[in-house]
Amino acid sequence: MIIKCAWCGLVIDDSDTGPVSHGICPSCKKQLLSEKEESEKDEKKIPLESTAKEQSIRVRI
């Protein structure tokens, strides 16, 4: 299996031939970890969508 970085496309592991799988290279992992701290506030927007769906289900019942 060939492992490519899903962010920059860098080949992480091409020791085996076969289907291409996606992973993350060390440099992108560092960047992602630093961005994660900043985006934690934005993650709160996702549960709001699920509660809206739950409310629409309650209306049907």
Strands 20-23 and 11-13: unpaired
Q: Does 5 bind Zn ion (CB under 5 A)?
A: yes
Q: Is 28 in the site for Zn ion (CB under 5 A)?
A: yes
25: contact with Zn ion by CB under 5 A: yes
Interface with Zn ion includes 7 (CB under 5 A)? yes
Separation between Cα atoms, residue 7 and residue 28, nearest integer Å:
7
When the beta carbons of 3 and 25 are compared against Zn ion, the nearer one is: 25
Cβ distance 4 to 23 under 8 Å? Answer: yes
Q: DSSP code of 18?
A: S
Query: Which residues are at the interface with Zn ion (CB under 5 A)?
Result: 5, 7-8, 10, 25, 28
